[in-house]
Structure 1
Amino acid sequence: MDEDILAALEQRLGRLHARQRLGIETDHEAQIFGQGLTFFHLENWYPGQSLIRTALKLTGLYWRARRNAGRVVVRSNDVAFKDLPARFDGFTILHLSDLHVDMSEAAMQRVCELVGELSYDLCVLTGDYRGKTFGSFEAALDGVARVRSHLKGPIYGVLGNHDTIRMVPALEAMDIRMLLNECELIARDDQCIFLAGVDDAHFYRMDNIEKAAMRIPDGAFSILLSHTPEIYRQAAHAHFNLMLSGHTHGGQICLPGSIPITLESALPRRMGAGAWRYNNMTGYTSVGAGSSVVAVRLNCPPEITLHCLRRGG
């Protein structure tokens, strides 16, 4: 463990949080069974890559699926809220998730091309920056830096289940404000909204919504960033207006009609991709810009998303 990284994390998060997160990572990284919100973790099962490639090759779909992984599209999601402050009518959020930057060069090149042409007020990253769930992360940081150079600030992010807390100092050195069970106030003139983010809730279970929401006044408009949407119940009952997530990849390999074969998540299928609603909270699950396990996509194009907040509804 690099002592400089440890010192930076302890200064940033406090000694207890930093050492607790690092200890949990050491105990559980690369674990296949029995940790997190789901029992089986395909991304940590080594034969999984070969089985997926072989199955796709036998069906003749492998090379098509490989090409699809690089064909990132821009999706628009307009959402209306009666409680949105008037100054934020038309406020636009660029949402990137599940970049897995070291998995598909073609996908990241396309992301860089697309984001440079977009207009938005704020950018959010909802986790999973590297391809593997363990090991070195320098290549992932290099890839994120490349994407970051094409983005406009301000930029906020959270960690995913593929990410180590040791990446945080380097990500923040890129001027990406990481929200680790924390909240930021976003102001426009005399009005504001609140943007909160939680640490990974899927594998490491380090999320703390209560801590993230502690500074949000009753009745204030608030947005939650969480890598996984699996904590939608907790988020809704904490009175967040909007929750932005990723993690599911929309299934990544889907049947015609974008029907996922599996979501690898403890989640209702209607929440596995795109816009959804639970109680009084609106949600959006990005299918991600990158690919997990194998850089392939079928009937589930990779995406980046522009969310436009509207007053009304």
Structure 2
Amino acid sequence: MQLQGVRYGMHGQPPVSASNVDDVERLYQLELRLGADHARRRLAIEKEKEARVLSREGKHLHLENAYSLPSMIRLCLQMSGLYRRAQANSRELRVTENRFILPELPRGLEGLTLLQLSDLHVDMDEANLHAVMETVRPLEYDLCVITGDYRRDTWGDINPAMDGMQRLRNHLNGTVLAILGNHDSVLMVPELEAMGYQMLMNESYRLEKNGESLWIAGVDDPHLYQTDDLEAAIADIPAAATSLLLSHTPEIYQEAAMAGFDLYMCGHTHGGQLCLPGGLPLTLDARCPRHLGRGAWEYDAMQGYTTTGAGTSILNVRLNCPPEVTLHRLTRGPNGVG
């Protein structure tokens, strides 16, 4: 296995000052990893969008930045008698199994299994993080992929999240590929890589098994920071290769299908997190059709999966929308042959 196709599409932005000694060192390491232009532009975007509830254009709400929202949700759930149940639900992870049937899958990749984690928010709730670690420890898989959101907030100190991610890494086997989400600072990248996470920052990775290859591309956050660069991510992927895109959100599904991806994995929506009976989400916080907001879906020739995520956002509660870790199995057909 090897990392291939490192390219960046960010140029010439004003310098950004780091806020403390730790961040100065992180910025130095980040500039070595991504180049000064990319690193400083991403940090400038983070600063500009920090703690905004309404986007500067006035088109999109970012509910996770509403300071009073957790208290309002907690009060509503307490008044309805659902708070304790909803909190317990957030810690009861399930292992979901999904099959991607690809008739043209190279025979050497038959049965390849990928573990997907997403929306961990590891500094949100200690009990949930413990549940994640206990859930993933006995699982068997060829590769783990994580589709973003490691921090509780979209701004502030990254140290609590980094501590949680270090603890989680001790329970994950083999190679772990990861991307950033809208809660994540680019300053996390060097530290996560030092822990053993291989970050895909608009880059691709070739997974080899039995002499065959699965190409996995990962893009930076398309939702809040809009720093995804699909062109850079696919630059080194052969046209006929079997390919998978990791994106924090389902929002670039059309572009991914046009780029020729076979598979698409994402998270961000939490499946709604608080849903009506039957799993009907109150909100998905994503610019995409609602049927792409949870579970398996298809668009043109591309198959996708949007996980409900392992953690929670805003408040550690869930209703009618269990948290999950997902095992994806690739196969050529119903019987694993073709």
Band the TM-score falls in, shorter-chain normalisation: over 0.9
Moved more, 77-86 or 198-207: 77-86
Moved more, 246-255 or 181-190: 181-190
Taking the aligned partners of 1:190 and 1:251, their CA distance within structure 2 comes to: 40
- Residue by residue over 1:1-60, the C-alpha shift from the partner in whole angstroms, topping out at 9 and shown as x without a partner, is 132211111111111111110111111111111259961010001111111111111111
1:30 to 2:42 alignment: no
- Residue by residue over 1:128-168, the C-alpha shift from the partner in whole angstroms, topping out at 9 and shown as x without a partner, is 00100000010111111111110001100000000000011
1:286 to 2:310 alignment: no
1:180 to 2:217 alignment: no
Q: Which amino acid aligns with 1:288?
A: G
Taking the aligned partners of 1:108 and 1:12, their CA distance within structure 2 comes to: 29
1:234 to 2:255 alignment: yes
SS at match of 2:187: helix
Q: Which 5+ residue runs of structure 1 have no aligned equivalent?
A: none
- Residue by residue over 1:196-242, the C-alpha shift from the partner in whole angstroms, topping out at 9 and shown as x without a partner, is 00000000000001110011111110000000111111111111100
Taking the aligned partners of 1:232 and 1:35, their CA distance within structure 2 comes to: 24
Gap change, CA 1:7 and 1:37, over 3 Å in 2 = farther
Taking the aligned partners of 1:237 and 1:171, their CA distance within structure 2 comes to: 31
Q: Which amino acid aligns with 1:39?
A: H
Q: How does 1:74-93 map to 2 (within 5 A)?
A: 74-93=95-114
For the Cα contact (< 8 Å) 1:9–1:169, is it kept in 2? Answer: yes
Report the equivalent of 2:153. 132
Taking the aligned partners of 2:229 and 2:163, their CA distance within structure 1 comes to: 29
Taking the aligned partners of 1:122 and 1:96, their CA distance within structure 2 comes to: 11
Report the equivalent of 1:190. 211
Q: TM-score, normalized by length of structure 1? A: 0.98
Taking the aligned partners of 1:35 and 1:173, their CA distance within structure 2 comes to: 35
For the Cα contact (< 8 Å) 1:225–1:243, is it kept in 2? Answer: yes
- Seq. identity, %: 51
Report the equivalent of 2:25. 4
Corresponding residue to 1:206 among 208, 211, 227: 227
CA RMSD of aligned residues (A): 1.3
Taking the aligned partners of 2:79 and 2:47, their CA distance within structure 1 comes to: 38
Q: How does 1:116-127 map to 2 (within 5 A)?
A: 116-127=137-148
For the Cα contact (< 8 Å) 2:296–2:306, is it kept in 1? Answer: yes
1:307 to 2:328 alignment: yes
Taking the aligned partners of 1:153 and 1:119, their CA distance within structure 2 comes to: 10
Corresponding residue to 2:275 among 254, 276, 281: 254
For the Cα contact (< 8 Å) 2:54–2:62, is it kept in 1? Answer: yes
Taking the aligned partners of 1:101 and 1:231, their CA distance within structure 2 comes to: 26
Q: Which amino acid aligns with 2:54?
A: F
Q: Which amino acid aligns with 1:16?
A: D
For the Cα contact (< 8 Å) 1:36–1:202, is it kept in 2? Answer: no
Taking the aligned partners of 1:236 and 1:138, their CA distance within structure 2 comes to: 37
Gap change, CA 1:215 and 1:36, over 3 Å in 2 = farther
Taking the aligned partners of 1:70 and 1:144, their CA distance within structure 2 comes to: 17
SS at match of 2:214: strand
Q: Which 5+ residue runs of structure 2 have no aligned equivalent?
A: 1-17
For the Cα contact (< 8 Å) 1:69–1:302, is it kept in 2? Answer: yes
Gap change, CA 1:238 and 1:32, over 3 Å in 2 = same
How far 1:312 moved relative to its partner? 3.2
Pairs aligned (count): 313
Gap change, CA 1:132 and 1:71, over 3 Å in 2 = same
Report the equivalent of 2:176. 155
Taking the aligned partners of 1:141 and 1:172, their CA distance within structure 2 comes to: 11
Q: TM-score, normalized by length of structure 2? A: 0.91
Gap change, CA 1:282 and 1:35, over 3 Å in 2 = farther
Q: Structure 1 segments of 4 or more deviating over 3 A?
A: 35-38
Taking the aligned partners of 1:22 and 1:191, their CA distance within structure 2 comes to: 38
1:57 to 2:81 alignment: no
Report the equivalent of 1:170. 191
For the Cα contact (< 8 Å) 2:109–2:210, is it kept in 1? Answer: no
For the Cα contact (< 8 Å) 1:37–1:265, is it kept in 2? Answer: no
Taking the aligned partners of 1:200 and 1:246, their CA distance within structure 2 comes to: 11
